[in-house]
């Protein structure tokens, strides 16, 4: 081969290397335009990228569902506390109304012949 042919071959290889380097460069224009997805790396890793996206969506869905359940749990806890306080209030009102002194007062206000017994119901020997 002559020197001229070698120079031409070297020039062609340099041009192809420069073109590859220019093609491999990632600029903001390539990223925004989506040209970066056409690169060889992304073509080879397509299945992995799809799997990662599915896992990310699954994670986001689980996080949202967990937050919804936590909100529901908090709401139910507040409702349970309200019901407990209401039950305690009703229980105390019932105790107050069922005391012997209250019953005696209620019977005394009614015009009846009933009186409280002074004899014990059972005789202990």
Return the domain boundaries, the chain.
1-44, 47-109
Looking at residue 72, its pLDDT comes to: 98
Among the residue ranges 2-11, 12-21, 54-63, 89-98, the one predicted with the least confidence is 12-21
Q: Are 30 and 38 in contact (CB under 8 A)?
A: no
Enter the tokens of residue 85: 């306080």
Looking at residue 53, its pLDDT comes to: 97
- Tell me the backbone φ, ψ of residue 6, rounded to 5 degrees: -65, -40
Radius of gyration of the CA atoms of the chain, in A? 44
Torsion, Cα of 109, 112, 117, 122 (10° steps): -120
- Tell me the backbone φ, ψ of residue 114, rounded to 5 degrees: -70, 140
């Amino acid at each position: 081969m002559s020197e001229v042919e070698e120079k031409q071959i070297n020039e062609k290889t340099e041009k192809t290397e420069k073109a590859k380097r220019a093609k491999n460069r990632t600029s903001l224009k390539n990223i925004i335009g989506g040209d970066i997805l056409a690169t060889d790396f992304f073509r080879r890793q397509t299945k992995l990228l799809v799997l990662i996206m599915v896992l990310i969506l699954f994670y986001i869905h689980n996080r949202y569902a967990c937050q919804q359940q936590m909100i529901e749990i908090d709401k139910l806890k507040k409702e349970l506390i309200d019901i407990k306080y209401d039950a305690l209030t009703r229980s105390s009102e019932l105790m107050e109304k069922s005391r012997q002194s209250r019953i005696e007062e209620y019977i005394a206000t009614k015009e009846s012949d009933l009186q409280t017994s002074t004899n014990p119901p059972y005789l202990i020997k």
